[in-house]
Amino acid sequence: MNELPEDEQDGSGLFVRSVEKAMRVLECFRHARNPMTLGQLATQTGYTKSTVQRSVHTLLELGYLARHSDGRLQSGLKCLDLAFQFLQPNPLISAAYPILLKLRDATGERTNLSLFDGTTLIYAIRLQSTKDYIYVSSLIGRRMPTFCTAGGRAMLAQLPREQAQQIVMASSRRPLTPQTKTDPSEIMAAVDVARAQGFASVVGEPVIGEVTVAAAVVGARGDPLGAVHLSSNISHCDPDEFVGRYAPLAIEAAHMLSEMR
Amino acid sequence: MNELPEDEQDGSGLFVRSVEKAMRVLECFRHARNPMTLGQLATQTGYTKSTVQRSVHTLLELGYLARHSDGRLQSGLKCLDLAFQFLQPNPLISAAYPILLKLRDATGERTNLSLFDGTTLIYAIRLQSTKDYIYVSSLIGRRMPTFCTAGGRAMLAQLPREQAQQIVMASSRRPLTPQTKTDPSEIMAAVDVARAQGFASVVGEPVIGEVTVAAAVVGARGDPLGAVHLSSNISHCDPDEFVGRYAPLAIEAAHMLSEMR
DNA sequence: TAATATCATATCGAATGCCGATACGGTCGT
DNA sequence: ACGACCGTATCGGCATTCGATATGATATTA
């Protein structure tokens, strides 16, 4: 007779647990560099081997998982389909694409669009530099912390200060490089600077040797939707000059994509 | 032992139906240009409103669906995560990225990597032309028919002829442009040409006014994994010259990515 | 060679968690 | 006022999922 709110995180009685389990199993592959076995998935999720077996069987049949040549499991092609369905009808994406392309060619630098998602941001468009060919795994769907990225701080600056602070406090604030600011008040100070300037810039905080300027894209009520990023390597340019030259362009692009009227 | 054929479409008793239902609901958004309501999802999937309600509730909570401002439903950010997990550990993708970048800059043309998936192919890397800014919705995860695309035919040419023919026959062969070849024997003739040449080229079949050369990437046993595409618009170049000039480059790139030893 | 520890796969009784008909309160058009 | 949608909530019954367990294959030990 356990009619208490026994489960913490789900909510109403509409929640389908088998679906959650399957998705959790699918999500195991996020940080996995290699294919996985049933047993590994079981220990990682905490589910029984049977549960994992059933989830995996189903996801295999549906195409969201696939078998590596050695029989282990990896992400399936259908995962790409889901990304397409997200991007395709998204008005921000389709509006941003040509604008970012033009921006990339005007600057020659790496040009990205990220989307706001609380303590993390997620890259939705990534355009490569026309100069260097570093494969910084410039992949769609990569998440980065909000608190230490230029885009993240530009977006935080669009939130009510208290709300921004909540996000900063809720972040893990694990330093990604020796230069990552981890002190909440220091981070909030940077956010305040971003609010005053209308853009944010960071050097070396999320990635060593990288300089980034970013401006926030906002919705109809001024809420942050995403950010336009321009990045380069400090070995190729002077950071201050980079920021000074490109911040206005990032702001302009972000403004064109914003819905504030 | 139990050769029970009475089961309709799933397979063994390990198949979890609630998961299938949730994924089917999620897949409804593939061809939807607009956010959807519960009722629309119910009619489109054939499930009861209750089932859809539960699936949607769960997918919302997990982040794979999101609410549009008017309350209707759309794809959620988590869908992008799945694409990342597919791309990130994939050795073909990480190997292809720098090679395609170099190829794109050597040619200046749109450069893609597609992956083989039976009657369709799916784009995994899309690099824009350095010349024109058309937003041909150059998005990851887009599927195209195998039978009428250059990449598709290049891949079919790597299969045993009979198997290729099976795929052609299983394709819908709905013409995408007036120039799309729909006659199976005509298509197989083009595949034979591709096999002889080591690459495939099409003009205007999948997209009006587009010329594409493609070469297949093959696995250790010569099986097609994907294809390297180079595309341009016929208003910008002479198709024959385009094919003649770039086919060797596509072949070279595809060869570098292949596992045949 | 044998023992041990993985692995994937399959089975099956039990009860839980999903199923889906149904109901309720909105908000549109008309 | 009505009807036709919308999203949301409820609830008894029973199909479906659950998870312990068994099997055989493969790999790594000694």
The predicted structure's pLDDT at residue A129: 84
Terminal-to-terminal C-alpha distance of chain A: 55
A52 beta carbon to strand C: under 7 Å: no
For B9-46, write each residue's pLDDT tens digit. 445 678 999 999 999 999 999 988 899 999 999 999 99
For residues A197-222, give the mean pLDDT: 96
Amino acid at position B237, single letter: C
Is A5 a residue whose pLDDT tops 50? no
Distance between CA atoms of B167 and A224, rounded to whole angstroms? 47
For A17-69, write each residue's pLDDT tens digit. 999 999 999 999 998 889 999 999 999 998 988 999 999 999 999 999 999 98
B69 beta carbon to strand C: under 7 Å: no
Q: Which residues of B touch A12 (CB under 8 A)?
A: 57
Is A6 a residue whose pLDDT tops 50? no
Nucleotides of D under 7 A from a protein CB: 5-11, 16-21
Name the residue among A257, A61, A35, A232 with its Cα closest to residue B15. Answer: A61
- Neighbouring C-beta atoms of residue A185, cutoff 10 Å: 10
Contact assessment for residue B131 and residue A130, using Cβ atoms and an 8 Å cutoff? no
Residue of B nearest to A24 (CA): B62
For residues B140-160, give the mean pLDDT: 97
Contact assessment for residue B158 and residue B218, using Cβ atoms and an 8 Å cutoff? yes
Distance between CA atoms of A28 and A92, rounded to whole angstroms? 29
Q: Which residues of A touch B84 (CB under 8 A)?
A: 30, 139-143
Is B136 a residue whose pLDDT tops 80? no
Strands A200-203, B224-233: parallel, antiparallel or unpaired by DSSP? Answer: unpaired
String of DSSP letters for A241-255: HHHHHHHHHHHHHHH
pLDDT band at B137 (very low <50, low <70, confident <90, very high): low
Determine the nucleotide nearest to B2 by Cα–C1' distance: C10
A contact test, residue of B17, B60, B139, B155 with most A CBs within 10 A: B139
Calculate helix-pair angle for A78-87, B17-27, nearest 10 degrees: 40
pLDDT band at B62 (very low <50, low <70, confident <90, very high): very high
For residues A141-169, give the mean pLDDT: 97
Show Cβ contacts of residue A40 under 8 Å, excluding neighbours closer than 6 positions: A28
Q: Which residues of A touch B14 (CB under 8 A)?
A: 53-54, 57-58
Total count of residues recorded for chain A:
261
Structure-block tokens of residue A56: 């995996």
The predicted structure's pLDDT at residue A221: 87
Q: Which residues of A touch B142 (CB under 8 A)?
A: 84, 88
Q: Which residue has the higher pLDDT, B1 or A256?
A: A256
Q: Which of A77, A89, A133 is facing B117, going by the closest CB pair?
A: A77
The predicted structure's pLDDT at residue A130: 79
For residues B222-239, give the mean pLDDT: 95
Is B204 a residue whose pLDDT tops 90? yes
Domains of chain B and CATH, by start:
17-76 (1.10.10.10), 90-257 (3.30.450.40)
For residues A235-253, give the mean pLDDT: 96
Determine the nucleotide nearest to A17 by Cα–C1' distance: C17
Contact assessment for residue A116 and residue A224, using Cβ atoms and an 8 Å cutoff? yes
